[in-house]
Structure 1
Protein backbone atom coordinates (compact mmCIF):
# COMPACT_ATOMS: atom_id res chain seq x y z
CA UNK A 1 0.00 0.00 0.00
CA UNK A 2 2.93 2.33 0.62
CA UNK A 3 4.07 2.09 -2.98
CA UNK A 4 0.54 2.96 -4.04
CA UNK A 5 0.72 6.39 -2.46
CA UNK A 6 3.97 8.30 -2.83
CA UNK A 7 3.36 11.45 -0.86
CA UNK A 8 4.06 14.83 -2.32
CA UNK A 9 6.02 16.41 0.51
CA UNK A 10 6.16 20.12 0.03
CA UNK A 11 3.36 20.27 -2.55
CA UNK A 12 1.08 23.05 -1.47
CA UNK A 13 -2.69 22.88 -1.54
CA UNK A 14 -4.89 25.95 -1.29
CA UNK A 15 -4.23 27.34 2.20
CA UNK A 16 -7.52 29.28 2.36
CA UNK A 17 -9.65 26.14 2.46
CA UNK A 18 -11.28 25.47 5.82
CA UNK A 19 -11.23 21.82 6.84
CA UNK A 20 -14.47 19.94 7.55
CA UNK A 21 -12.95 18.79 10.86
CA UNK A 22 -11.70 21.55 13.18
CA UNK A 23 -9.07 20.52 15.72
CA UNK A 24 -6.38 22.21 17.83
CA UNK A 25 -2.69 21.48 17.19
CA UNK A 26 -1.62 18.03 18.37
CA UNK A 27 0.69 17.15 21.23
CA UNK A 28 4.37 17.95 20.63
CA UNK A 29 6.21 14.81 19.54
CA UNK A 30 9.77 13.83 20.38
CA UNK A 31 12.31 13.10 17.68
CA UNK A 32 12.16 9.45 16.64
CA UNK A 33 8.85 8.70 18.40
CA UNK A 34 6.38 7.03 16.02
CA UNK A 35 2.85 8.31 16.55
CA UNK A 36 -0.54 7.91 14.88
CA UNK A 37 -1.50 11.05 13.00
CA UNK A 38 -4.97 9.89 11.95
CA UNK A 39 -6.93 6.80 11.00
CA UNK A 40 -9.06 6.56 7.88
CA UNK A 41 -11.29 3.56 8.63
CA UNK A 42 -13.06 3.71 5.26
CA UNK A 43 -9.70 3.10 3.53
CA UNK A 44 -8.41 0.65 6.20
CA UNK A 45 -5.43 2.95 6.74
CA UNK A 46 -3.59 4.53 9.66
CA UNK A 47 -1.25 7.47 9.02
CA UNK A 48 1.89 7.21 11.18
CA UNK A 49 4.54 9.87 11.50
CA UNK A 50 7.78 10.70 13.30
CA UNK A 51 10.21 13.58 13.45
CA UNK A 52 13.58 12.44 12.10
CA UNK A 53 15.88 15.15 13.38
CA UNK A 54 17.35 15.54 9.88
CA UNK A 55 17.39 18.96 8.26
CA UNK A 56 16.66 17.72 4.72
CA UNK A 57 13.66 15.55 5.73
CA UNK A 58 12.53 16.59 9.23
CA UNK A 59 9.34 14.48 9.24
CA UNK A 60 8.64 10.99 7.93
CA UNK A 61 5.11 9.79 7.26
CA UNK A 62 4.03 6.23 6.46
CA UNK A 63 0.69 4.60 5.71
CA UNK A 64 -0.10 1.39 7.57
CA UNK A 65 -2.95 -1.01 6.96
CA UNK A 66 -5.20 -1.22 10.02
CA UNK A 67 -6.12 -4.90 9.63
CA UNK A 68 -5.39 -7.52 6.98
CA UNK A 69 -9.07 -8.54 6.96
CA UNK A 70 -10.38 -4.99 6.54
CA UNK A 71 -12.29 -4.42 3.29
CA UNK A 72 -11.79 -0.81 2.09
CA UNK A 73 -14.94 1.17 1.37
CA UNK A 74 -12.91 4.08 -0.02
CA UNK A 75 -9.86 4.49 -2.23
CA UNK A 76 -6.60 6.10 -1.10
CA UNK A 77 -5.09 8.05 -4.00
CA UNK A 78 -1.76 9.70 -4.71
CA UNK A 79 -2.00 13.40 -3.77
CA UNK A 80 -0.07 14.36 -6.94
CA UNK A 81 -3.08 13.13 -8.97
CA UNK A 82 -5.60 15.20 -6.97
CA UNK A 83 -6.77 18.71 -7.80
CA UNK A 84 -7.64 20.18 -4.38
CA UNK A 85 -10.87 22.13 -4.42
CA UNK A 86 -11.84 20.77 -7.86
CA UNK A 87 -13.69 17.66 -9.02
CA UNK A 88 -15.51 17.44 -5.68
CA UNK A 89 -12.33 17.27 -3.54
CA UNK A 90 -12.82 18.81 -0.08
CA UNK A 91 -10.32 19.51 2.65
CA UNK A 92 -11.45 17.04 5.30
CA UNK A 93 -8.83 17.53 8.01
CA UNK A 94 -5.70 19.57 8.75
CA UNK A 95 -3.53 18.08 11.50
CA UNK A 96 -0.68 20.13 12.97
CA UNK A 97 2.02 18.22 14.84
CA UNK A 98 4.62 20.36 16.65
CA UNK A 99 8.15 19.09 17.23
CA UNK A 100 9.07 18.83 20.92
CA UNK A 101 12.78 19.42 20.24
CA UNK A 102 12.17 22.43 17.99
CA UNK A 103 9.22 24.62 19.10
CA UNK A 104 9.02 26.59 15.82
CA UNK A 105 8.76 23.52 13.59
CA UNK A 106 5.57 21.62 12.86
CA UNK A 107 4.37 19.02 10.38
CA UNK A 108 1.06 19.79 8.70
CA UNK A 109 -0.84 16.77 7.37
CA UNK A 110 -3.86 17.48 5.19
CA UNK A 111 -6.43 14.83 4.40
CA UNK A 112 -8.52 15.53 1.32
CA UNK A 113 -11.78 13.71 0.64
CA UNK A 114 -13.86 13.20 -2.50
CA UNK A 115 -17.32 11.96 -1.49
CA UNK A 116 -19.49 10.02 -3.88
CA UNK A 117 -23.22 10.49 -3.84
CA UNK A 118 -24.74 7.08 -4.28
CA UNK A 119 -28.42 7.16 -5.14
CA UNK A 120 -30.36 4.73 -3.01
CA UNK A 121 -33.81 3.63 -4.01
CA UNK A 122 -36.30 2.06 -1.68
CA UNK A 123 -38.06 -1.16 -2.54
CA UNK A 124 -41.80 -1.86 -2.31
CA UNK A 125 -41.53 -2.21 1.48
CA UNK A 126 -39.73 1.12 1.84
CA UNK A 127 -36.39 -0.51 2.70
CA UNK A 128 -32.94 0.22 1.25
CA UNK A 129 -31.67 -3.13 0.01
CA UNK A 130 -28.80 -4.49 -2.02
CA UNK A 131 -29.65 -7.66 -3.87
CA UNK A 132 -26.73 -10.00 -4.54
CA UNK A 133 -27.91 -11.01 -8.03
CA UNK A 134 -28.31 -7.40 -9.15
CA UNK A 135 -24.94 -6.44 -7.65
CA UNK A 136 -23.23 -9.31 -9.53
CA UNK A 137 -24.86 -8.26 -12.80
CA UNK A 138 -23.68 -4.67 -12.30
CA UNK A 139 -20.15 -5.86 -11.50
CA UNK A 140 -20.03 -8.09 -14.58
CA UNK A 141 -21.25 -5.21 -16.74
CA UNK A 142 -18.63 -2.87 -15.23
CA UNK A 143 -21.27 -0.54 -13.83
CA UNK A 144 -20.26 -0.50 -10.19
CA UNK A 145 -20.60 2.82 -8.43
CA UNK A 146 -17.33 4.64 -7.85
CA UNK A 147 -15.88 4.68 -4.36
CA UNK A 148 -15.28 7.71 -2.18
CA UNK A 149 -11.60 8.67 -2.16
CA UNK A 150 -9.00 10.16 0.16
CA UNK A 151 -5.59 11.71 -0.48
CA UNK A 152 -2.94 12.78 2.05
CA UNK A 153 -0.47 15.67 1.78
CA UNK A 154 2.46 16.50 4.06
CA UNK A 155 3.98 19.98 4.43
CA UNK A 156 6.38 21.50 6.95
CA UNK A 157 5.92 24.91 8.58
CA UNK A 158 8.44 26.89 10.56
CA UNK A 159 12.21 26.85 10.66
CA UNK A 160 14.18 23.74 11.56
CA UNK A 161 16.42 24.02 14.61
CA UNK A 162 20.15 23.58 14.20
Structure 2
Protein backbone atom coordinates (compact mmCIF):
# COMPACT_ATOMS: atom_id res chain seq x y z
CA UNK A 1 0.00 0.00 0.00
CA UNK A 2 1.31 3.45 -0.89
CA UNK A 3 1.67 5.85 1.96
CA UNK A 4 0.53 9.48 1.44
CA UNK A 5 4.06 10.86 1.18
CA UNK A 6 4.99 8.18 -1.36
CA UNK A 7 1.85 8.89 -3.38
CA UNK A 8 2.65 12.61 -3.40
CA UNK A 9 6.22 11.89 -4.54
CA UNK A 10 4.92 9.63 -7.32
CA UNK A 11 2.46 12.28 -8.52
CA UNK A 12 5.15 14.95 -8.42
CA UNK A 13 7.57 12.76 -10.39
CA UNK A 14 4.90 12.05 -13.00
CA UNK A 15 4.13 15.75 -13.45
CA UNK A 16 7.74 16.97 -13.80
CA UNK A 17 8.08 16.02 -17.52
CA UNK A 18 4.84 17.87 -18.34
CA UNK A 19 6.02 20.98 -16.50
CA UNK A 20 9.50 20.79 -18.05
CA UNK A 21 8.10 20.64 -21.60
CA UNK A 22 5.93 23.71 -21.08
CA UNK A 23 7.52 26.94 -22.35
CA UNK A 24 8.20 29.76 -19.91
CA UNK A 25 5.31 32.24 -19.82
CA UNK A 26 5.81 35.85 -20.90
CA UNK A 27 4.40 37.08 -17.59
CA UNK A 28 6.13 35.73 -14.48
CA UNK A 29 4.02 35.77 -11.33
CA UNK A 30 3.91 34.15 -7.92
CA UNK A 31 0.97 31.93 -6.93
CA UNK A 32 -2.07 33.91 -5.83
CA UNK A 33 -3.47 34.13 -2.32
CA UNK A 34 -5.35 31.02 -1.14
CA UNK A 35 -9.06 31.35 -1.87
CA UNK A 36 -11.93 30.04 0.25
CA UNK A 37 -14.67 27.79 -1.08
CA UNK A 38 -17.45 29.88 -2.61
CA UNK A 39 -15.42 33.08 -2.94
CA UNK A 40 -15.48 34.41 -6.52
CA UNK A 41 -12.12 35.96 -7.39
CA UNK A 42 -10.62 37.69 -10.40
CA UNK A 43 -7.70 35.84 -11.95
CA UNK A 44 -6.76 38.29 -14.67
CA UNK A 45 -8.19 41.07 -16.79
CA UNK A 46 -7.52 41.10 -20.53
CA UNK A 47 -8.42 44.68 -21.53
CA UNK A 48 -7.82 44.09 -25.25
CA UNK A 49 -10.57 41.44 -25.25
CA UNK A 50 -12.84 43.33 -22.81
CA UNK A 51 -12.77 40.25 -20.59
CA UNK A 52 -12.11 39.31 -16.99
CA UNK A 53 -11.18 35.75 -16.03
CA UNK A 54 -12.71 34.76 -12.72
CA UNK A 55 -12.86 31.57 -10.70
CA UNK A 56 -14.37 29.98 -7.64
CA UNK A 57 -13.57 26.87 -5.61
CA UNK A 58 -16.82 24.90 -5.30
CA UNK A 59 -16.05 22.27 -2.66
CA UNK A 60 -17.50 19.65 -5.02
CA UNK A 61 -15.19 16.67 -5.64
CA UNK A 62 -16.42 16.20 -9.23
CA UNK A 63 -15.94 19.83 -10.22
CA UNK A 64 -13.69 21.47 -7.60
CA UNK A 65 -13.21 24.77 -9.46
CA UNK A 66 -15.52 26.89 -11.60
CA UNK A 67 -13.89 29.10 -14.23
CA UNK A 68 -15.50 31.73 -16.47
CA UNK A 69 -14.67 34.62 -18.76
CA UNK A 70 -16.86 37.66 -18.03
CA UNK A 71 -17.28 40.76 -20.18
CA UNK A 72 -15.85 43.81 -18.40
CA UNK A 73 -18.20 46.41 -19.86
CA UNK A 74 -20.97 46.60 -22.43
CA UNK A 75 -19.39 49.75 -23.88
CA UNK A 76 -15.91 48.24 -24.24
CA UNK A 77 -14.71 47.90 -27.85
CA UNK A 78 -12.67 44.69 -28.07
CA UNK A 79 -9.38 44.84 -29.96
CA UNK A 80 -8.76 41.09 -29.46
CA UNK A 81 -10.78 37.89 -29.14
CA UNK A 82 -10.86 35.45 -26.23
CA UNK A 83 -11.47 31.81 -27.13
CA UNK A 84 -11.39 28.42 -25.42
CA UNK A 85 -7.87 26.94 -25.55
CA UNK A 86 -9.08 23.39 -26.20
CA UNK A 87 -11.19 24.44 -29.17
CA UNK A 88 -8.39 26.59 -30.59
CA UNK A 89 -5.78 23.87 -29.92
CA UNK A 90 -3.53 26.45 -28.28
CA UNK A 91 0.03 25.21 -27.98
CA UNK A 92 3.53 26.36 -28.81
CA UNK A 93 3.57 23.86 -31.69
CA UNK A 94 0.61 25.66 -33.31
CA UNK A 95 2.18 29.14 -33.16
CA UNK A 96 0.65 30.23 -29.84
CA UNK A 97 2.74 31.94 -27.16
CA UNK A 98 2.24 31.05 -23.50
CA UNK A 99 1.38 34.45 -22.09
CA UNK A 100 0.57 33.75 -18.44
CA UNK A 101 0.22 30.93 -15.91
CA UNK A 102 -1.98 31.80 -12.94
CA UNK A 103 -1.91 29.51 -9.90
CA UNK A 104 -4.53 29.85 -7.17
CA UNK A 105 -4.31 27.55 -4.14
CA UNK A 106 -7.37 26.44 -2.24
CA UNK A 107 -7.60 27.74 1.34
CA UNK A 108 -9.46 24.65 2.54
CA UNK A 109 -7.31 22.08 0.68
CA UNK A 110 -3.62 22.99 0.71
CA UNK A 111 -2.69 20.18 -1.72
CA UNK A 112 -4.97 21.48 -4.47
CA UNK A 113 -4.66 24.48 -6.78
CA UNK A 114 -6.36 25.83 -9.86
CA UNK A 115 -4.03 26.61 -12.75
CA UNK A 116 -5.12 28.87 -15.60
CA UNK A 117 -2.93 29.08 -18.67
CA UNK A 118 -3.43 32.05 -20.98
CA UNK A 119 -2.13 31.70 -24.53
CA UNK A 120 -1.73 34.50 -27.08
CA UNK A 121 -1.64 34.34 -30.86
CA UNK A 122 -0.29 37.58 -32.18
CA UNK A 123 -0.91 38.98 -35.61
CA UNK A 124 1.44 41.15 -37.57
CA UNK A 125 -0.55 44.29 -38.29
CA UNK A 126 1.16 47.30 -39.76
CA UNK A 127 0.05 50.76 -38.66
CA UNK A 128 -1.60 53.02 -41.21
CA UNK A 129 0.59 55.27 -43.34
CA UNK A 130 1.50 58.64 -41.89
CA UNK A 131 -0.54 61.58 -43.13
CA UNK A 132 0.81 65.02 -44.09
CA UNK A 133 1.06 65.98 -40.40
CA UNK A 134 3.10 62.88 -39.54
CA UNK A 135 0.26 61.09 -37.70
CA UNK A 136 -1.18 57.62 -38.13
CA UNK A 137 -4.89 58.15 -38.50
CA UNK A 138 -7.79 55.86 -39.23
CA UNK A 139 -10.78 57.53 -40.82
CA UNK A 140 -14.24 56.01 -40.53
CA UNK A 141 -14.95 56.22 -44.25
CA UNK A 142 -11.68 54.48 -45.11
CA UNK A 143 -12.38 51.74 -42.55
CA UNK A 144 -15.92 51.17 -43.86
CA UNK A 145 -14.68 51.08 -47.47
CA UNK A 146 -12.01 48.53 -46.53
CA UNK A 147 -14.57 46.39 -44.65
CA UNK A 148 -16.94 46.43 -47.65
CA UNK A 149 -14.05 45.34 -49.87
CA UNK A 150 -13.29 42.46 -47.48
CA UNK A 151 -9.96 43.91 -46.37
CA UNK A 152 -10.42 43.35 -42.63
CA UNK A 153 -7.23 43.03 -40.62
CA UNK A 154 -6.95 40.09 -38.22
CA UNK A 155 -7.03 40.79 -34.49
CA UNK A 156 -4.92 39.18 -31.75
CA UNK A 157 -6.48 36.13 -30.11
CA UNK A 158 -6.19 35.00 -26.49
CA UNK A 159 -7.08 31.53 -25.27
CA UNK A 160 -7.57 30.41 -21.68
CA UNK A 161 -7.51 26.89 -20.26
CA UNK A 162 -8.09 25.84 -16.66
CA UNK A 163 -6.96 22.72 -14.83
CA UNK A 164 -7.05 21.65 -11.20
CA UNK A 165 -3.73 20.22 -10.04
CA UNK A 166 -2.80 18.40 -6.87
CA UNK A 167 -4.49 15.88 -4.64
CA UNK A 168 -8.25 16.06 -4.09
CA UNK A 169 -9.28 16.61 -0.48
CA UNK A 170 -12.26 15.06 1.21
Q: CA 1:158–1:64 in structure 2 vs 1: closer, same or farther (change >3 Å)?
A: same
Query: Where do residues 57-96 of structure 1 align in structure 2 (5 Å cutoff)?
Result: 57-80=63-86, 81-96=88-103
Give the total of aligned pairs: 151
Is the 8 Å Cα contact of residues 111 and 167 (structure 2) preserved in structure 1? yes
Is the 8 Å Cα contact of residues 82 and 151 (structure 1) preserved in structure 2? no
Q: Which runs of 5+ in 2 are unaligned?
A: 1-17
Q: Which runs of 5+ in 1 are unaligned?
A: 1-11
Matched, 1:40 2:46: yes
The ranges of structure 1 where at least 4 consecutive aligned residues each deviate by more than 6 angstroms after the TM superposition are: none
Which residue matches 2:34?
Answer: 28
With the length of structure 1 as denominator, give the TM-score of the two structures.
Answer: 0.86
CA deviation digits over 1:64-104, x for unaligned, max 9? 11111111110111212233114431111000000000111
Larger Rg: 2
Which residue matches 2:113?
Answer: 106
Give the whole-Å Cα distance in 1 for the aligned partners of 2:133 and 2:20.
Answer: 46
Matched, 1:52 2:61: no
Give the whole-Å Cα distance in 2 for the aligned partners of 1:13 and 1:154.
Answer: 15
With the length of structure 2 as denominator, give the TM-score of the two structures.
Answer: 0.83
Higher RCO by CA contacts (8 Å cutoff, separation 6 or greater)? 1
CA deviation digits over 1:110-138, x for unaligned, max 9? 11111112112323432211122221111
Q: 1:134 aligns with which of 142, 165, 170?
A: 142
